[in-house]
Every structure is written in C-alpha cells, then in structure tokens.
Amino acid sequence: KGLNSFDKNGFNTYARIITHTTLGDYSEYSSLRDPYILTSFERNQLSQQLHTQTTQSLAKINIKIIHWYGINPVKINDQNSLEISYLRQLGDNPYVAVRTYYFENNDREHLVTVSYRLRDEKVWKPLFIKSLKSLEITKK
C-alpha cells in the first residue's frame, strides 16, 4: 500500500506474486498430472543451467544471487511443478527470498513467482503458502 503514490511507508516491506503464462502448441508441454522424473544428474544439470541463466539475467539489473537452493519437483494441489528457489539482493538492499513454480499444461507453461524480503519472512511466508494451496490451474 502506498507504492504508486511513492509514500515512504509503502516501501517498508516488499512482497509480490507474479504469474506468467506462455502459450505453445498442443502437446508441446506435459500434463499437469505428469510427474517430473529427473535423475540426480539431470536435476543437477538443470539446476546449474538455470543458476547460470538467472545470474546473468539478474546481473543486468544489479541483482546478485546470494544463495542458490536449486530445483525440486513439488506438488501443489495435486499439480506437478518444479520449484526453483534462491536468495537475491538488489544493490545493498535487504535480501529477498524467491521461489518460482514452473507448471506444464499441455499447450502452455505457467510460472508463478513468490518473493519477499527475508527479514519479513514471518509475515509473508505463511500467506504465500496459503496462496499456493489455493492455486488451481485449469487442465488443458
């Protein structure tokens, strides 16, 4: 509250949920019900690749990765997802915890990213968990 009017109190905390959908062709992506089956080698390779891409992308806007937690297959409301998580920092600002959930849904992919300042974790983490538990993607 207050960010759009540049009220300084509006900047006391930071948290957001971003959703992004990319459309593709029929059967280009797996189904929401298909589990992500990765060997530990594949998981490590994918994690390294995503770490490199994310680091390079964020560096362009003065954000650095403080800690890379990697990727993990997870289920959210019986929907299969890959969770990508890390801790980042913009300039000298406080650390921000980031979790991105990647869903494949037949002809589209969905990314849901939740982030908040680490110092505000007690406030935001429970709300984001509740939000994710309510997430339901319509099967395509």
pTM of the model: 0.89
SS3 137: coil
The contacts of residue 135 (CB under 8 Å, 6+ apart) are: 76, 77, 79, 112
Average pLDDT over residues 111-125: 95
pLDDT in tens, 6-30: 777 777 888 999 999 999 999 999 9
Largest Cα–Cα distance in the chain?
Answer: 49
Q: pLDDT tens for residues 29-74?
A: 998 888 888 899 999 999 999 999 999 999 999 999 999 999 999 9
Q: Select from 40, 25, 21 the least CA-distant residue to 106.
A: 25
What per-residue confidence (pLDDT) applies to 139?
Answer: 83
